[in-house]
Amino acid sequence: NVIYRADYQPPAYWIDTVELCFDLDPAKTRVLNRMKLRRNAQMPAQPLRLDGEELNLARVLVNGQGTSFKMENGQLVLENLPAGDEPFELEIFSTCAPAKNTTLSGLYTSGDSFFTQCEAEGFRRITYFLDRPDVMASYTVLIRADKARYPVLLSNGNLVDQGELDDGRHFAKWVDPHRKPSYLFALVAGQLVAREQRITSRAGKEHLLQVYVRPGDLDKTEHAMNSLMASVAWDEARFGLPLDLERFMIVATSDFNMGAMENKGLNIFNTKYVLASQATATDTDFFNIESVVGHEYFHNWTGNRITCRDWFQLSLKEGLTVFRDQEFSMDLAGEASARAVKRIEDVRVLRTMQFPEDAGPMAHPVRPEQYLEINNFYTVTVYEKGAEVVRMMQTLVGREGFRRGMDQYFQRHDGQAVTCDDFSQAIADANPGSRLAQTLEQFRRWYSQAGTPRVKAEGRWDADSGIYSLTLSQSCPPTPDQPAKDPFVIPIGLGLISGGVEIANGMHVLTEQSETLTFPGLQSEPVPSILRGFSAPVVLEFDYPDEQLLALLAHDADPFNRWEAGQRLALGRALAYLRTPGLARSDIRLDAPFVEAMRGILRHPTLDPAFKELVLTLPAETYISEQLDTVDPQRVHMVRDAMREQLAQALFHDWEWAFEQHRENGAYRPDPRSSGRRALAGLSLMHLCIAARKSGDTVWPGKTLQRFKDASNMTDRFNALTALVVSGHELAAPALARFHATFQDDALVLDKWFALQAGAPDRGGNILPIVKQLMNHPDFNIRNPNRARSLIFSYCNANPGAFHRPDAAGYVFWSERVTELDAFNPQVAARLARALDRWKKLEEPLRSAAREAIARVAAKPDLSNDVREVVTRALAD
Ligand code: ARG
Ligand code: ZN
């Protein structure tokens, strides 16, 4: 049952209208579904096949009459439908069991409320339907439920009627004025309260914005509401896209598989991306809320008004909408330096998560060719790499050209279900003569070829002629099913620096396998600043001598490459240590030029604190590991940990200075400036505690504990706690206990408490026993995805130094949890299953142990498609 992109066929029937009537009951919800259908004249006559899953079918009527039907491969098949192109009515009555729905796909209960999640294929768990995005219908929804238990009844669109029924029940009727695919359907019912805000759009239209949460959480919704208002204003200002609904609702639930969902007019969110107060949420939480609220809101146009023809086109809406939310965050950040910080953070996600995905067994093009379970393809490749592809289009046509292209896209395709090719065509057509238009067919390889391209750069300086030449060559490693690749279109931001002065700055579009650029008339050999702004999602290989990197770190006008120079300096050192046979921890001694360069950044008089924090954070263990052919994750951890310790000791007084300079930040506001200051204060404290661990000093751990206790916001409090935990100080245990006692009633804060302990540096194999112990903690509940992620994923997916144990106990734990989760929530299980994606790179004996663990999972008889696809791909050669 693998699905191939090449097999796409338009639907044999259209569904024009849907009338749904729900009688909500946790044990047995009754769903009456009345549809108007007609044959698609473009397709040969054939039976109607409706998707359905875990439904109890009671009755099927065609034009009010009983009819024959059969079940085939889980589909409801109707063969005796009226002939001809006339519309006909189909009425289906079925029931489902929301309280037993542990998959959190379809209609389910969380606490005492009802929620839905229909993307990608959850609607078929609610009623029989053509559950595919190219079938767009008008929905009318009647909800009936007990009024005391479910006072709030919500669905998409406008509330047109509500009232009382017998037996303490009531009803609400919703009509969605926009046609939509079934994956955008939503229903919510429960005891909820809303923060409300009325706004007037630029065009003078009135809208009601609502953020629904459980009673008691209302005081944590201000930031989400502000983010929503900012999103509405931004999309109008930047893209001319207004809110097309009278009412726009966000509802938060604590049981959610993903981040959030853009259901038309009724977004459903993980509480993690809604609830925030200065006492309970960190700066990062505040920024994530802003970006996810924006993301879901922007889907209203890129995803909902124009949707995907089929799920292979997922990046059409996700890549574009991630690009839009990134731009939104950057525009809100304001200043150039804050924009750069956001860009660096986005690139860091891409390189630490997407590059490994693109090099592993789950590698797939931005537009995949095949899948067994579509939920496995909501990936960093489709989302983040997809956003980079859209960003390259903007680079190739310019910012205004991109706006023209978006206008063209909406003019052509509003109300349609389309493909990635339709999008790039619209952008190119609106910009004839642009580099995108000239290279469109070749550019589209970004959608069809998987793998991270490499660009090798080689510089040649000819002192006699004063000519500097730079040769750029591209290649792309093989990926599953794609042994050989054709050249990509790669925009390469390029600057030349000579004597600390920038002498050239531009964009080169690399289209050939290899090209040489020449720069005549130079006095001395320049330092090239290549791939400025990370202008393409590639690996840049250039043998930078240290002096050149130090020069870029000191002078590059491009903040991304300035940061990158520091990362390269650190990475080069880490790799040299890792390649030294028999290296002991005590052999790791950072050289003076590197230490002095880091000191120079930390003490720099004008650089942004947020930028300093990024430069002074060493490359992630996963990123370092990606550069190696075979990996011992514990050794990688040891090297990075020792390097950090050296920075802690060598810069001790500088960290003290930095902490004192940035510790006080006035009244809490989660803006880029003050959050950057808090981030640098936090990083300083961490290094001070690490240095103290070495020297036996107790002053800084004591001050850290005090700051932990006195903090007026969660960022400072959690950073202090993290410093104690990471440095392994004995004060960590009482601080953790105190933290738990203070926040035991706040689920999102408890998630942090679990995650911190599961992600802490391993000391003699202590983390796995702690994780196992925490599995038995009364606050642990594996059925709640946030909680499962905070403990199990923080260990297996995010703590390589602790997870990859030579005794393989981490892998045994992993395989047990994958199977345990798979029995009730395949989507979450499949995400965990990916923790061993890169097993082939592991050094023995880890490699064999990991393969055994994967094989053990693969051998289980009743695996979901989700987990089966991940483990089968992992084991394939
Ligand atoms: N469209 C949602 C978003 O990007 C993600 C929903 C994915 N859900 C899933 N079960 N695959 O915001
Ligand atoms: Zn999305």
Q: Is 297 in the pocket of ligand 1 (CB under 6 A)?
A: no
Q: Where are the alpha helices (DSSP H) in 444-545?
A: 445-448
Distance CA 27, CA 98 (A): 6
Radius of gyration of the chain (CA): 28
Report CA(218)–ligand 2 centroid distance (Å): 25
Which structure tokens are listed for 642?
């020792």
Report CA(319)–ligand 2 centroid distance (Å): 8
Distance CA 365, CA 420 (A): 12
Which amino acid appears at position 333 of this protein? A
Ligand having the closest approach to the CA of 105: 1
For tokens 């950072």, the residue is 590
Q: Is 658 exposed, middle or buried (0-12, 13-18, 19+ CB in 10 A)?
A: buried
Write the secondary structure of 594-635 as one string of H (helix), E (strand) and C (coil).
Answer: HHHHHHHHHCCCCCCHHHHHHHCCCCCHHHHHHCCCCECHHH
Q: Is 558 in the pocket of ligand 1 (CB under 6 A)?
A: no
Report CA(258)–ligand 1 centroid distance (Å): 6
Ligand 1, from 268, 273, 378, 379: best to mutate by most atoms within 8 Å of Cβ? 378
Of all protein residues, the one whose alpha carbon is nearest to atom 2 of ligand 1 is 261
Which structure tokens are listed for 116?
């839905």
Contacts of 351 (CB under 8 A, 6+ apart): 623, 626
Ligand 1, from 115, 258, 269: best to mutate by most atoms within 8 Å of Cβ? 258
Report CA(385)–ligand 2 centroid distance (Å): 13
Q: Is 378 in the pocket of ligand 1 (CB under 6 A)?
A: yes
Computed from CA positions of residues 227, 233, 239, 242, in that sequence, does the dihedral angle turn out positive or negative? positive
For tokens 């390259």, the residue is 392
Q: Is 830 in the pocket of ligand 1 (CB under 6 A)?
A: no
pLDDT, residue 653, reads 98
Ligand 1, from 131, 261, 268, 377: best to mutate by most atoms within 8 Å of Cβ? 261
ipTM score of complex = 0.98
For tokens 């005391």, the residue is 148
Please report the beta strands in 168-320, taking only residues with DSSP state E, as ranges in sequence order. Answer: 169-175, 180-181, 187-190, 193-200, 206-213, 247-253, 260-261, 266-270, 307-308
Which structure tokens are listed for 211?
């953020």
Contacts of 221 (CB under 8 A, 6+ apart): 195, 211, 213, 274, 275
Ligand 1 atom closest to the Cα of residue 374 is 11
Q: Coil, helix or strand for 114? A: strand
DSSP state of 381: I
DSSP state of 351: I
End-to-end CA distance of the chain: 21
Q: Walk across the sheet containing 193-200 and list its strands.
A: 193-200, 206-213, 247-253, 266-270, 260-261
CB 728 within 8 A of CB 761: yes
Of all protein residues, the one whose alpha carbon is nearest to atom 1 of ligand 1 is 261
Residue 833: which of 786, 868, 862 has the closest Cα? 868
pLDDT, residue 13, reads 98
For tokens 């660096």, the residue is 344
Ligand having the closest approach to the CA of 320: 2
Report CA(261)–ligand 2 centroid distance (Å): 7
Computed from CA positions of residues 55, 59, 62, 68, in that sequence, does the dihedral angle turn out positive or negative? positive
CB 229 within 8 A of CB 248: no
Residue 252: which of 288, 215, 208 has the closest Cα? 215
Which structure tokens are listed for 784?
């709640």
Q: Is 260 in the pocket of ligand 1 (CB under 6 A)?
A: yes
DSSP string, 706-769: HHHHH-SSHHHHHHHHHHHHHHT-TTHHHHHHHHHHHHTT-HHHHHHHHHHHHTSPPSSS-HHH
Residue 454: which of 490, 428, 483 has the closest Cα? 490
Report CA(318)–ligand 2 centroid distance (Å): 5
Q: Is 384 in the pocket of ligand 1 (CB under 6 A)?
A: no
53, 121, 296, 626: the active-site residue:
296
CB 500 within 8 A of CB 460: no
Report CA(298)–ligand 2 centroid distance (Å): 9
Q: Is 373 in the pocket of ligand 1 (CB under 6 A)?
A: no
Write the secondary structure of 386-428 as one string of H (helix), E (strand) and C (coil).
Answer: HHHHHHHHHHHHHHHHHHHHHHHHHHHHCCCEECHHHHHHHHH
Q: What angle do CA 506, 512, 518 make, to 5 degrees?
A: 45
Residue 630: which of 850, 385, 358, 482 has the closest Cα? 850
Ligand 1 atom closest to the Cα of residue 292 is 12
Of all protein residues, the one whose alpha carbon is nearest to atom 11 of ligand 1 is 375
For tokens 């089966």, the residue is 868
CB 829 within 8 A of CB 782: no
Q: Is 799 in the pocket of ligand 1 (CB under 6 A)?
A: no
Q: Is 262 in the pocket of ligand 1 (CB under 6 A)?
A: yes
Residue 566: which of 134, 574, 367, 160 has the closest Cα? 574
Distance CA 223, CA 725 (A): 29
For tokens 């030029």, the residue is 593
Please report the beta strands in 417-484, taking only residues with DSSP state E, as ranges in sequence order. Answer: 417-418, 454-462, 467-475
Report CA(226)–ligand 1 centroid distance (Å): 23
Residue 408: which of 384, 447, 437 has the closest Cα? 437
pLDDT, residue 877, reads 84
Strands 370-371 and 266-270: unpaired
Q: Coil, helix or strand for 809? A: helix
Computed from CA positions of residues 476, 480, 483, 488, in that sequence, does the dihedral angle turn out positive or negative? negative
> How far are the Cα atoms of 278, 282, 388 from residue 290, in angstroms, in the given order?
15, 13, 20
Cα-based torsion angle of the residue sequence 570, 573, 579, 584 in order, rounded to the nearest 10 degrees: -110
Ligand having the closest approach to the CA of 270: 1
Q: Is 103 in the pocket of ligand 1 (CB under 6 A)?
A: no
pLDDT, residue 143, reads 99
Report CA(314)–ligand 1 centroid distance (Å): 10
Residue 636: which of 579, 688, 568, 683 has the closest Cα? 579
Distance CA 209, CA 206 (A): 10
Report CA(598)–ligand 2 centroid distance (Å): 38
Please report the beta strands in 40-151, taking only residues with DSSP state E, as ranges in sequence order. Answer: 48-50, 56-62, 65-66, 70-72, 75-78, 88-96, 106-110, 113-117, 136-146
Distance CA 514, CA 303 (A): 37
Computed from CA positions of residues 769, 774, 776, 777, in that sequence, does the dihedral angle turn out positive or negative? positive
Q: Where are the alpha helices (DSSP H) in 200-354?
A: 222-239, 283-298, 314-333, 336-349
Q: Is 866 in the pocket of ligand 1 (CB under 6 A)?
A: no
Phi, psi (deg, nearest 5) at residue 419: -120, 165
Q: Is 327 in the pocket of ligand 1 (CB under 6 A)?
A: no
Which structure tokens are listed for 850?
């990991």
Which amino acid appears at position 741 of this protein? A
pLDDT in tens, 530-585: 999 999 999 999 999 999 999 999 999 999 999 999 999 999 999 999 999 999 99
Ligand 1 atom closest to the Cα of residue 259 is 12
CB 287 within 8 A of CB 332: no
Q: What is the mean pLDDT of each run of 10 residues along the chain (877 residues)?
A: 97 98 98 98 97 98 97 96 95 98 98 98 99 98 98 98 98 98 99 98 93 98 98 98 98 98 99 98 98 99 98 99 98 96 98 98 98 98 99 98 99 98 99 98 99 98 97 98 98 94 96 98 96 98 97 96 98 98 96 98 98 98 98 98 98 98 98 98 98 95 98 99 97 98 98 99 98 98 98 98 98 98 98 98 98 98 97 96
645 is catalytic: no
Ligand having the closest approach to the CA of 302: 2
Distance CA 229, CA 488 (A): 39
Distance CA 182, CA 817 (A): 32
Q: Is 119 in the pocket of ligand 1 (CB under 6 A)?
A: yes
DSSP state of 482: B
DSSP state of 486: P
Residue 845, preceding bond cis, omega within 30 degrees? Answer: yes
Ligand 1 atom closest to the Cα of residue 321 is 4
pLDDT, residue 256, reads 98
Q: Is 120 in the pocket of ligand 1 (CB under 6 A)?
A: yes
Ligand having the closest approach to the CA of 262: 1
Q: Coil, helix or strand for 384? A: helix
For tokens 């396998």, the residue is 513
Which structure tokens are listed for 588?
């790791």
Strands 490-498 and 527-530: antiparallel
Neighbours of 412 (CB within 10 A): 16
